[in-house]
Structure 1
Amino acid sequence: MKAVAYYRVSTATQARSGLGLDAQRAAVADLCASRGMEIIAEFTEVESGKRNDRPELTEALRRAKLTGATLVVAKLDRLSRSVAFLSTLQDSGAKFIAADMPEANELTVHILAAVAQAERKAISTRTKEALRAAKARGVKLGNPNGAASLKRAGKGNVAAIEAVKDAAQSRAQELAGEIEAVKAAGAQSLREIAQGLNERHIEAPRGGSWYPSGVKRVLERLGT
């Protein structure tokens, strides 16, 4: 059984430093070893997961199809959460598997991607509606305390509060990988993590630079 490995990192800095790549390689290697699969080729992409035009992935898919190998990735988000992209992947005719969900088939992956995409759209819609409602009631937008400011306004809009919380939680999940990469590079304290995120040019949830207090809030949302 043959395997073509595909790894993806979001920034050139990650690619040069190996942040994230080592973990991906280890996950793919462990899965292949457990299934008796031989890795015959490896491809590494430096690109945002939001884009579908990834030449390294295209080449990996082509190689997998031509050799009859299975495309192996560490995590499903290394491919994409875009339904359109996953449809293209399935239409390519190449088999693929993810180390974090090896039992998933093409239909399962497509359904999961559709649910994830629908949830992102729903969160975005709820947030926009909540902000419009808050603005109509005279709540000052851009308050750094978000949900807390809506509560203090005494308007009783539970949906608006929940929408803000949902948006914050979604953002925290997006930042989880970057924080783990910074910690893997040696950052331990909140200040060191904040410095690492700033060096990677990652914007804080409210824009601008990171500070220890902001890192603490994100870690609390992630339960770490």
Structure 2
Amino acid sequence: MTKYIGYIRVSTKHQNNSGLGQLAQKAMIKNFLKKDDLLIAEYEEVESGKKDDRPELLKALEHCKKENAILLIGKLDRLSRNVGFIYLLKDSKVKFVCCDMPEATDVTIGIMAVLAQDERERTSQRTKAALAELKAKGVQLGSPCNLNSEARQSGTKALIQKARNNPNNKLATALIVPLRESGLSYQKIADKLNESGFKTSTGKEFSNAQVLLLYDRYINIKLESDHK
């Protein structure tokens, strides 16, 4: 018999009140459990994805240690962009399983931590730089009339960046890196991603070129981080 403690999270009070986020994740946890598995408890977190404090997660991790149980996470992609969650889970040394990504490991979580931290820093830097540039040009911020051609181009770039930081791509990268470093070709990795049901940011299957792009992006991020 395997003992589990469930952990689900919705990012806003609206999602919490609607019950849709919890119900979906509860269903995933229930469907994951086998006949002889035991779900000891469930912990629910309702917080903003920007906050790093996770009181319910801390309780769940302590409960796992006490009962020698496995933390069963309803949906990893809902949590993968939060640096605080990722490091807390990684450093706890508690065994975990993700319903939507059972193959996730400590290595996966470590990769996600690098990507999430980089995304947060880059987003902050881009926002500050863009605001400073607009102010220097005498643009009054917050006015709809400011949406000139230049602003629209910036908006297009933001959409492209959003696609690059899509949770689907981040989850795929966490699997691509260890597979590539074990010697698999880009095409074989793409095949494995597609067989496992992974999708690109546009909802399509992965090609070897897309795998190469995601792997190169991770390597560049790691090199930049190492030189800081």
Q: Structure 1 length normalisation: TM-score?
A: 0.59
1:89 alignment partner, SS class: helix
Matched with 1:26 is: 27
Structure 1 Cα separation of the partners of residues 145 and 87 of structure 2? 40
**Offset of residue 109 of structure 1:** 1.2
Residues 5, 73 of structure 1: 8 Å contact kept: yes
**Contiguous gaps of at least 5 residues in structure 1:** 175-220
Structure 2 Cα separation of the partners of residues 16 and 84 of structure 1? 24
Structure 2 Cα separation of the partners of residues 138 and 52 of structure 1? 36
Matched with 2:87 is: 87
Percent identity reads 44
Pick closer, same or farther for the CA change 1:61–1:165 going to 2, 3 Å.
same
Pick closer, same or farther for the CA change 1:6–1:161 going to 2, 3 Å.
closer
1:51-66 to 2 correspondence within 5 Å? 51-66=51-66
Structure 1 Cα separation of the partners of residues 4 and 19 of structure 2? 22
Structure 2 Cα separation of the partners of residues 52 and 127 of structure 1? 20
Q: Please identify, of 17-26 and 126-135, the stretch whose mean Cα deviation from structure 2 is larger.
A: 126-135
Amino acid at match of 1:25: K
Pick closer, same or farther for the CA change 1:151–1:10 going to 2, 3 Å.
closer
Residues 11, 46 of structure 1: 8 Å contact kept: yes
Matched with 1:199 is: none
Matched with 2:150 is: 151
Structure 2 Cα separation of the partners of residues 127 and 45 of structure 1? 29
**Contiguous gaps of at least 5 residues in structure 2:** 168-200, 204-228
Structure 2 Cα separation of the partners of residues 69 and 150 of structure 1? 56
Matched with 2:133 is: 133
**Offset of residue 149 of structure 1:** 1.2
Cα RMSD between the aligned structures? 3.5
Pick closer, same or farther for the CA change 1:123–1:49 going to 2, 3 Å.
closer
2:20 alignment partner, SS class: coil
**Offset of residue 95 of structure 1:** 1.0
Structure 2 Cα separation of the partners of residues 151 and 53 of structure 1? 38
